[in-house]
A and B are shown apart, each in its own frame.
Chain A
Amino acid sequence: MAIIEVKELTKVFGHDAGRALPLLEQGWSKEKIAREAKLTVGVNKASFRIEEGEIFVIMGLSGSGKSTLVRLLNRLIEPTGGQVLFKGKDVVKMNPEELRGFRRKNIGMVFQKFGLFPHRTVLANAEYGLEVQGIDKKERTRRAMESLELVGLKGWENHRPDQLSGGMQQRVGLARGLANDPDILLMDEAFSALDPLIRKDMQQELLELQTRVKKTIIFITHDLDEALRIGDRIALMKDGVIVQIGTPEEILIQPANKYVERFVEDVDLSKVLTASHVMRQPELIRPERGPRVALQLMREGGVSSLYVVDQEMKLQGVITADDASQALKENKTILEVMRREIPRVHPDTLLNDLFELMSQAHLPVAVVDEADKLKGIVIKGAVLSALAGNAVPEGGLKL
């Protein structure tokens, strides 16, 4: 079940904003409403579902309505229309008491400029969400310390935020957001104020953190690289409208319209696509079938080598036509003649990191998972054509 389901969520700014709703229904554009009704459409009928444990990125340029949209989810900004269903309950209809409870227990937030309280220590900042719930001092200190430890700030708890670097300040923000163990974490341009290198570290750390805490994260960004790097799915916004929702690959490979296409055209694909995107299905053989069958299979498949795997698809080696004929002559087994030294990579290896390996390898590179199971092979041509942006095999062929 989706943890958050947003239906036709709309925000219009201005006097008596509700009158814009029927106009939007009639299909009036944002410009027309601005001109003739003197109202500003911030978010226009956004609908999406977010699954539990997902990192959902909302991306758009400034003014696209992404920051407004995220604030509609916890009602820091009151929606003009639509629904936000949290586990089936409509947040928009909550009374102030229920809303406070929702904010205290279910949804945390991390801010662009960190939003740390300057008069409180790091620990007191991390404790804030627990403190307003009235949790006793000992318990909240324990939980805040756990949270600080999680983000790597142990030993800094008695410092003031302004004594910390930007990256560390945002860790405090993250610890504060996580301390009350919410189901959902909203991150509003959380890394945008950081230096590029620090930002990359933080992205990596967020992904690592996510494997441990498994929160549902809604991440706002204007940076496509960031969105592609951390997002399980990405929603692209323009002028208050969500123009496309999809996995990073879908956004890159099948842009929904010209706008998305223009947005993604400058992306360095070698830093986005991975081995799993460009790998092909290899010709396989099990060792006990013998060199004669191997030669036969090569002839039929029109290939000059076969990948040797065991019953569990674990990669054993590779056998070429020459090896197979030699084995036949000398009456050897496949296991005796096959080559075991094969370049191997993980399916998540970026193409960028594949280049060097590819240039040295004579054989295609084998793609294997953690258990050494063969997933596919990468040949040079496939990498180049993928980078040219045209011939990525649909979804990457899987075995």
Chain B
Amino acid sequence: MNLPKIPIGQGVEWLEDWLTTYFGPFFDLIASIIGGMVSGIETALTFLPAIVLTLIIAALAYWIGKWKMALFAVIGLLLIDNLGLWGPSMQSLALVLTASVLAVLIGVPLGVLCAQSKTVQNIVTPILDFMQTMPAFVYLLPAVSFFSLGVVPGVIASIIFAIPPTIRLTNLGIRQVSEELVEAADAFGSTARQKLFKLQLPIALPTIMAGINQTIMLSLSMVVISSMIGAQGVGAYVYRAVSQAKTGAGFEAGIAIVIVAILLDRLTQNLVKPKKS
């Protein structure tokens, strides 16, 4: 039997055209918001001289964690500056922070909804599976057609790729709050909102933070892919080095990404852990 091919591809393209036609102004609005966020953060990061920002981050690292982390921050950031990658690194950081902030703003409430409703969870879970397994390159294309080339589709692609852990772990963290505690909150006449803010979110916070940490790491891993659609930053240096087979330059840019990654990871990981008293 010779069945005709099911036209999934055509369907997707038709949908893409349709969305571009009818939701163009909407996408433009989103694009200008995201673009504004990225350039705002980038301006803030590059406003200060590299050495001053380095010291601020080191102080932050010392306040959150230990002196070892502060030391690493100083050495790592000075190395980035020394390699001449400070500017592009800050561009990438702006992209990552924008994507992460938006992912958290969307992801945490979605996770809460999943925790409160079995139906929402049943709808959201397969979508998350889809988002995490579909190769990132594939949704880079529609992102470009909706938002054109540049940093904005990079941010969108990063959000799509990086948001699942925040949603999943928020959901998990809230569901893990023990039955007896939830009963206690109910027994004293809490409203759903009081229960959420006074009990579930505070107790789930370490789990949620683990999700946010993962989200930041995943969006950082998208900087190279984003550079393929025109996002500036240290990812573009890696991409260029790879396409020109320049091992040394690629390595330097790679190290800059690793340093930023480690700093972001340690800082966010230790954020909610109480300091040893």
Q: Is B17 an interface residue (CB 8 A)?
A: no
User: How far is B189's CA from A76's CA once the two chains are assembled, in angstroms?
Assistant: 10
| B106: min CB distance to chain A, Å | 25
Cβ–Cβ < 8 Å partners of B202 in chain A: 119
Known: A76-B183, A112-B180, A115-B180. A132 touches B203 (CB 8 A): no
Report chain A residues within 8 Å CB of B184. 109, 111, 115-117, 128
> Between A and B, how many residue pairs show CB distances below 8 Å?
59
Q: Determine if A103 is an interface residue (Cβ-Cβ < 8 Å).
A: yes
Q: Are the C-beta atoms of B187 and A132 separated by less than 8 Å?
A: no
Give Cα A133–Cα B186 distance, bound, in whole angstroms: 13
Bound form: Cα–Cα A113–B182 in Å: 13
Whether the Cβ atoms of A180 and B180 lie closer than 8 Å is no
With the chains together, A251 CA to B144 CA distance in Å?
79
A74 touches B187 (CB 8 A): yes
Q: Which of B180, B183, B189, B198 contacts A104 (CB 8 A)?
A: B189
Shortest beta-carbon distance from B276 to chain A in Å: 15
A contacts with B: majority SS? mixed
Chain A, residues 40-54, CB within 8 Å of chain B (1/0): the string is: 000000000000000
Enumerate chain B residues within 8 angstroms of A131, measured Cβ to Cβ. 198
B83 contacts partner chain A, Cβ-Cβ < 8 Å: no
Q: Measured between C-beta atoms, what is the minimum distance from B272 to chain A in Å?
A: 11
Contact A103 B189 (CB under 8 A): yes
Closest to A129 in B: B188
Cross-interface CB contact of B183 among A107, A115, A117, A119, cutoff 8 Å:
A115
Task: Kindly provide the distance from the CB of B207 to the nearest chain A CB, expressed in whole angstroms.
Answer: 13
A101 at the interface (CB under 8 A from B): yes
Q: How far is the CA of A74 from the CA of B190 in the complex (A)?
A: 13
Please tell me if the beta carbons of B191 and A132 are within 8 angstroms of each other in the complex.
yes
CA distance A293 to B194 in the complex (A): 78
Q: In the docked arrangement, what's the CA distance between A54 and B169, Å?
A: 46
Which A residues from 86 to 101 make CB contacts under 8 A with B?
Answer: 99-101
B181 within 8 A of partner (CB): yes
Contact A132 B183 (CB under 8 A): no
B189 touches A132 (CB 8 A): yes
Across chains A and B, which 8 residue pairs bring their CB atoms closest together, nearest first?
A104-B189, A103-B189, A115-B184, A109-B187, A129-B188, A100-B189, A115-B180, A119-B202
List residues of A whose CB falls within 8 A of some B CB: 71, 74, 76, 99-105, 107-109, 111-113, 115-119, 128-129, 131-133, 176, 180, 186
Please list the residues of chain B having a beta carbon within 8 angstroms of any beta carbon in chain A: 180-181, 183-191, 194, 198-199, 202-203
